[in-house]
Amino acid sequence: MPHHILKLAYRSLLKNRSFSLISLFGLAVSLAASMVIFQHYFFELSFDKNIPDSERTYRIITRLALQKWLVNFAYKTALPWWIFVLPGIIVACIAMLAISWQTNAAARLNPVLTLSINH
């Protein structure tokens, strides 16, 4: 049964190539962006883990590079991690829903009518 479903999904992907390519491209971009964001987030958290009172230390590079810029910065906010993960999950769900919908629509079609329309 799963082999049959995969075959129908593959045929649906081939039938609706432009729609499928847009969906898969969006899924790939969102997954890549979320991986880059996670890598950067964990990289930033990895500094000074073995130093006592590490929450009270910061990198000198940050202070030297951004001190003048941040002095006059009016709004300072902390962004939680889920703001970056949620769009990737939503895009993945939309892409999977669209592909599943197209596969279901293709599976429900009468093959006799489909062949007579195409030829």
Confidence of residue 98 (pLDDT cuts 50, 70, 90): very high
pLDDT at 93: 92
Mean pLDDT, the chain, whole residue set: 79
As a whole number, mean pLDDT of residues 39-57 equals 73
Confidence of residue 56 (pLDDT cuts 50, 70, 90): low
CA 108 → CA 8, 12, 70, 94, distances in Å?
Answer: 11, 12, 59, 21
Q: Is the pLDDT of residue 69 over 60?
A: yes
Name the amino acid, one letter, at 100: S
pLDDT at 35: 92
pLDDT at 74: 64
pLDDT at 47: 67
Helices (H) and strands (E) in the chain, counts: 5, 0
Q: Is the pLDDT of residue 72 over 80?
A: no
